[in-house]
Chains A and B, each alone.
Chain A
Amino acid sequence: MNRQQKSIQQRTAHGLVGSLILLLTLIAALLGLAGRVDAAAEIEVDAPSESTVGEVVQISATVTDGGTPVADAVVTVSRQAEIGGKSGFVELDSGTTDEAGVVQLEFVQYAAPSDAEALQVELQGPKGVDAATKFEMKVIDGPQQVTASSGADVGIINKYWLIAVLCLVWFFVIAATVQLLVISRASDGSTHSNRLIPYFMVGFVLFTGLGMFYVVLTQPTMHANLAPNEAFDRVPTAYVGEIYPYQGLGGDPADRPDDLTGEVLYVQAGCVSCHGINANGSMGGELDNDVLDDTEEFTEAVREGPDDMPAFADNLLTQAEIDRIIEFLHETRTSDAP
């Protein structure tokens, strides 16, 4: 019995402590709210209504508390952003107000083009955000977000210098090799020597040398640090937050050979990367016979793209192609079955 009594006492004690903690938390929360209410600070934001990607955006904010300007207040501007499935505010710039309560903030517009980019100016208090003003800004598509700044584009430094060096060197090598031919031809024929061999050697040297020219002449300028050219610009960088439309197999389905097998389509259209080689599923779901049997529902899923799956519209996969993929998957699944 003693043990049971002790147990009851313990439970009561735990309950008391728990209640106390809850009470204290509530009081703290109430005090916190009261504190916020006390600081009736207000931020007035003066920002342009639209901006272009790559442009420097300048905004000014005025902090007042009951009509009087607040000096030396720390103010930040943030943008709502989504990274890796998590949404939140990303700080872009911060500053301190002057005596008139005004602060100038600026940032480079890196957001994806949109009609209403969500921004927020916050007044940072000692315990967190004391006040916040939300506003929206239209973002217009502009130049590439990140452009190659390195690279010396000196027009006269080009591949023809290398060609010139190759010309010079190989001219001498070939000139020397040709002397073998001269020696051979100057012979009186009293010795047994094959007259074709020197021709072959000159030809071989010529061929080897021309190979070098071929490489330089046929290959484009690819190194961005050396004379960047238009044909080989740096890879365009994606805008932050932008989801690229799925490109599918590329090109118009009408131009595609219509004899691509279901297997080829399954791989090339990209199904395989999520659903696996045997359609066992990994990132995407398993494509078992239950799923496959309902052809209509399956096709609809492919067309619309449930959850995170990209949608394969008519311009990406034709109905006949989807049918062939289904056929292929049926065969694969059947042959897999024990």
Chain B
Amino acid sequence: MEALIEEPGTADTTWESRLEAKALIPGTSTGVAFKLWVGGLLLVLLVGIVAYVNQYNNGLYVTGMRDRISWGIYIAAFVFFAGISMAGTLMSAILRITRATWRTPITRVAEAITVMGLITAGVFVIVDMGQPLRLYQMYLNGNWQSPLMWDMMAITVYLTSSVVYLLVPMIPDLAFFRDRLPGRVPHVQSWMYGTLSFGWIENPPQRRALAKAVAILTVLIIPVAVSVHTVLSFVFSTTVRVSWNSTSFGFFFVAGAIFSGVAVLIIVFAIVRRRYHLEEYITERQFTYLGYLLAAMSMIMIYTNATEFITKGFKASDDDLFAFRELFATKFAPLFWFYFFGGLVLPVLIVAFKRTRTITGLVVASSFAVVAMFIERYFIVVAGMSVPLMPYEPSSYMPTATEWAIVAGGFALFMLFLTLFTRLFPIVAIWEMKEEHETRVEVAP
């Protein structure tokens, strides 16, 4: 496959040409493994769709959700994927603003994760709705004083701006693909590069417009992302439920979102790096920095858990004690302690020691963190719902096969989106890397 992209005149080994050659690999290569991977994902997605059709026809009765526990694994998945979408903002916008040069090889994938994560999150809201066609009612008869409406507003802004934020800095790279790939890829694909590069010929007005758009979005997207995760927490904390009566939920959700986002980034980078042979650009340095970030967020998460439980435990109302008992000792105890030790303490330990602070070690730590964060979302939703509001028997909830199948389908959808993205779009920000390389060379002597 690599032979394909070596053109007679450019077969030299300068840094730039090597980067260009590497960047073009994903756009042109399809191996058996790739096809198997995509086929497998499609299969899982299909199972999810079949399960959804079943749910659509028979109603939400096929789920484990009932009157007392009316939110389940769908809402947990929604919060989880919305949380993952924080990754792009953090990696891309915050590091771009601070001109952290080590981010350039990894921003594009982070931005893509934001968009894909948000779309998947939206899918879960619709799945949870029962009758998806009612979505238009949010526009026609929505109540602007409802936190659900604020959530929709925040997510709409975030999704729109992150799509634009993904697209704008990609224009020069798409133009590069447009110029270099015709004839080697299907016609539709080169038409797409042509269309999405908006006639980029890198003249001064275009450069100015690009810089302007990137500047606006970089600044805009940080408060928007924070608002998305705080407003998402309002959906819980404005609801009369014992475990959700918290003023620090916004902070808690933002911290959790960054934590799970970083963890997902580490895993995706490790896969992309190996799959597309980007070892030269996504180096151990990036992983180490991301690892530090993971450990820092992990400790912040331990702290936010402490603030959450200390403020409630200090007062220890009967309801809080019931919630604590379920969470720490009985029903949700295995989940909670796995989350705490496996998902929060373990990553810190892995990053702390040089011996374990390897790429493999970080992937292991991140995997634990991702699983733990899904579990956290699950018990925030379900354990919160299971505290009785009136003296009735505490209810219980267990996701049914339909729910598991749909959640698995959701994960497959997210991975499929990401796979297709890395396959079709420039996954490294070539122009930004070149720019950064030039300044570094200039500064060096």
Question: What does the 1/0 interface line of B182-212 toward A look like (CB < 8 Å)?
Answer: 0000000000001111111101011001101
The residue in chain B whose Cβ has the minimal distance to the Cβ of A194 is: B195
Chain A interface (Cβ within 8 Å of chain B)?
A: 159, 162, 166, 169-170, 172-173, 175-177, 179-180, 182-184, 186-195, 197-198, 205, 208-209, 211-212, 214-216, 219, 221-223, 226
Query: Bound complex: CA of A186 vs CA of B202, how far in Å?
Result: 9
Binds A, one of B14-22, B153-161, B398-406: B153-161
Instruction: Choose among A179, A187, A193, A222 the residue that contacts B168 (Cβ–Cβ < 8 A).
Output: A179
Of residues 212 to 226 in B, which have CB atoms within 8 Å of A's CB atoms?
A: 212-213, 216-217, 220, 224
Q: Is B98 an interface residue (CB 8 A)?
A: no
Q: Is the CB of B143 within 8 A of A187?
A: no
Shortest beta-carbon distance from A300 to chain B in Å: 43
Shortest beta-carbon distance from B158 to chain A in Å: 10
Shortest beta-carbon distance from B296 to chain A in Å: 29
Which 9 A-B pairs have CB atoms at the shortest separation, nearest pair first? Answer: A187-B199, A179-B213, A223-B145, A182-B209, A186-B205, A193-B199, A184-B198, A179-B209, A176-B216
Q: Is B439 an interface residue (CB 8 A)?
A: no
Contacts of B100 in A (CB 8 A): none
Contacts of A208 in B (CB 8 A): 156, 160
Contacts of A182 in B (CB 8 A): 205-206, 209
Shortest beta-carbon distance from A204 to chain B in Å: 9
Q: Is the CB of A192 within 8 A of B216?
A: no
Q: Is the interface of B mostly helix, strand, loop or mixed?
A: helix
Of residues 109 to 152 in B, which have CB atoms within 8 Å of A's CB atoms?
A: 138-139, 141-146, 149
Query: Bound complex: CA of A215 vs CA of B140, how far in Å?
Result: 7
Query: Bound complex: CA of A252 vs CA of B194, how far in Å?
Result: 65
Q: Is the CB of B143 within 8 A of A219?
A: yes
Shortest beta-carbon distance from A252 to chain B in Å: 28
Q: Is B178 an interface residue (CB 8 A)?
A: yes
Contacts of A180 in B (CB 8 A): 164, 167-168, 198, 213
The residue in chain B whose Cβ has the minimal distance to the Cβ of A184 is: B198
Given known A-B contacts A183-B206, A184-B199, A205-B160, A222 and B145 have beta carbons under 8 A apart = yes
Summed over the interface, the residue pairs from A and B with CB atoms below 8 Å come to a total of: 117
Q: List 17 A-B contacts (CB under 8 A).
A: A162-B144, A173-B220, A175-B216, A180-B164, A186-B209, A187-B198, A187-B199, A187-B201, A190-B201, A191-B175, A191-B199, A195-B199, A197-B198, A215-B139, A221-B145, A222-B145, A223-B143
Q: Is B86 an interface residue (CB 8 A)?
A: no
Given known A-B contacts A186-B203, A187-B206, A211-B139, A176 and B198 have beta carbons under 8 A apart = no
With A176-B161, A176-B168, A216-B144 known, 16 other A-B pairs at CB within 8 A are A170-B157, A172-B217, A176-B213, A183-B171, A184-B199, A188-B199, A191-B201, A194-B195, A205-B164, A209-B157, A209-B160, A211-B156, A219-B142, A222-B145, A223-B145, A226-B145
Query: Bound complex: CA of A226 vs CA of B145, how far in Å?
Result: 8
Query: Bound complex: CA of A212 vs CA of B158, how far in Å?
Result: 13
Shortest beta-carbon distance from B302 to chain A in Å: 33
Instruction: Choose among B139, B157, B210 the residue that contacts A183 (Cβ–Cβ < 8 A).
Output: B210
Q: Is the CB of B200 within 8 A of A215?
A: no
Q: Is the CB of A192 within 8 A of B194?
A: yes
Shortest beta-carbon distance from B139 to chain A in Å: 6
From A170, A173, A214, residue with most partner B Cβ within 10 Å = A173
Q: Is the CB of A222 within 8 A of B143?
A: yes
Contacts of A173 in B (CB 8 A): 157, 160-161, 164, 220
Q: Is the CB of B194 within 8 A of A193?
A: yes
Query: Bound complex: CA of A267 vs CA of B426, how far in Å?
Result: 62
Question: What does the 1/0 interface line of B242-257 toward A look like (CB < 8 Å)?
Answer: 0000000000000000
Shortest beta-carbon distance from B105 to chain A in Å: 24
Given known A-B contacts A169-B157, A211-B139, A183 and B199 have beta carbons under 8 A apart = yes
Shortest beta-carbon distance from A173 to chain B in Å: 5
Q: Is the CB of A191 within 8 A of B168?
A: no
Query: Bound complex: CA of A205 vs CA of B220, how far in Å?
Result: 15
Given known A-B contacts A169-B220, A182-B205, A219-B144, A212 and B161 have beta carbons under 8 A apart = no
Q: Is the CB of A212 within 8 A of B199?
A: no
Contacts of A219 in B (CB 8 A): 141-144
Q: Is the CB of A193 within 8 A of B195?
A: yes
Shortest beta-carbon distance from A77 to chain B in Å: 33
Contacts of B144 in A (CB 8 A): 159, 162, 215-216, 219
Contacts of B212 in A (CB 8 A): 176, 179
Shortest beta-carbon distance from B234 to chain A in Å: 13
The residue in chain A whose Cβ has the minimal distance to the Cβ of B193 is: A193
Contacts of A159 in B (CB 8 A): 144
Q: Is the CB of A214 within 8 A of B164?
A: no
Q: Is the CB of A215 within 8 A of B149?
A: yes
Query: Bound complex: CA of A190 vs CA of B178, how far in Å?
Result: 12
Shortest beta-carbon distance from A163 to chain B in Å: 10
Contacts of B210 in A (CB 8 A): 179, 183
Q: Is the CB of A198 within 8 A of B194?
A: no
The residue in chain A whose Cβ has the minimal distance to the Cβ of B216 is: A176
Contacts of A175 in B (CB 8 A): 216
Q: Is the CB of B217 within 8 A of A176?
A: yes
Shortest beta-carbon distance from B176 to chain A in Å: 12
Contacts of B216 in A (CB 8 A): 172, 175-176, 179
Query: Bound complex: CA of A193 vs CA of B224, how far in Å?
Result: 31
Query: Bound complex: CA of A166 vs CA of B150, how far in Å?
Result: 11
Q: Is the CB of B197 within 8 A of A191?
A: yes
Shortest beta-carbon distance from A200 to chain B in Å: 10
Shortest beta-carbon distance from B322 to chain A in Å: 27
